[in-house]
Chains A and B, each alone.
Chain A
């Protein structure tokens, strides 16, 4: 029991580090997965991530899955003539030797039908489905509602 508690405490305190850690999948380096805290479960959430393709093969993020959303989808915010819309993105290209960011005002994961409240400081898993590299599950850090980035220490601008 004591060990369990210690393990639990350790895993809780270690979550911010985990979310900022880079996950390797073949030649893909995945980092800075984050989301914003939600008010209740009625509104859709958004999630953001950085994907670096160090390989020579083009890839694409073709879908996402997560237990916190009944219908997670990829979307892109497009501002045309000053008007913002969010078309569905069937896939997000991750070309060879380049970095793609899902970030506020651009590509993002849209988490419709939240199954739980997203609480600041906690994490949830998201499975990324790549056309070439396959699937990988990463921890997503839940930040405050006013957050604009993952808040990782090495990524300050």
Chain B
């Protein structure tokens, strides 16, 4: 009787330990990347197809091998987008030739107005290393979902504007997500974040 109790206790102990270990593994797997469900997919797992402002079809798998920087915006945007593009241009200027080893994209969330030619005209005012991407609304929606970015058409009195995710997404050369440069982020911090990606890739 006593022996049997011990056995049961032992078995349940082993079970409890296994459960605890399992729970620990499950928890740490989750807590390593808090909110991991909200992180962008690795570039290698993205599946959209867009057209760049030179008219060339682009798929994200081509970006692997170089660090990547992506920003969602639209050319009718009077405040945030020219500011971010000018921020990116200044970062690239500071980084110098190192930034030649990066992919840098503006994904338009307003394909209705941002055709390939419109993007080309607009981007001629900023650093030439920034490439504009546009395409069908369905593909842009797919891209936004894969980046976990959002955008929404907002009607104004006689026109419309777009709300959109404002941060700059960073990816390592192997395509893994490498962080976000927030809107209003200090320029020095932004530069450090990009330099870290470039260093890892060299």
Contact = CB atoms under 8 A, between A and B. Distances in A.
Interface stretch (A26-34, A42-50, A127-135): A42-50
A61 to B, nearest CB: 17
B112 to A, nearest CB: 13
Contact of B182 (A46, A82, A110, A144): A82
B186 interface: no
Nearest to B113: A42
Given A79-B166, A85-B163, A146 B80 contact: no
Contact of B150 (A37, A75, A83): A83
Counting contact residues on chain B (CB < 8 A from A), the size range is 20 to 34
Counting contact residues on chain A (CB < 8 A from B), the size range is 20 to 34
Given A83-B150, A84-B163, A46 B79 contact: yes
Interface string A81-122: 011111000000000000000001100101110000000000
B125 interface: yes
Given A39-B121, A39-B122, A146-B89, A83 B82 contact: no
Find the residue from A37, A42, A82, A148 having the highest chain B CB count within 10 A: A82
Contacts of B19: none
Contacts of B166: 79, 82-84
B161 interface: yes
B86 A43 contact: no
B90 to A, nearest CB: 8
B14 to A, nearest CB: 45
B129 interface: no
B164 to A, nearest CB: 6
12 contacts: A43-B75, A44-B78, A46-B79, A71-B157, A79-B183, A83-B165, A84-B163, A86-B161, A105-B184, A108-B79, A145-B86, A146-B125
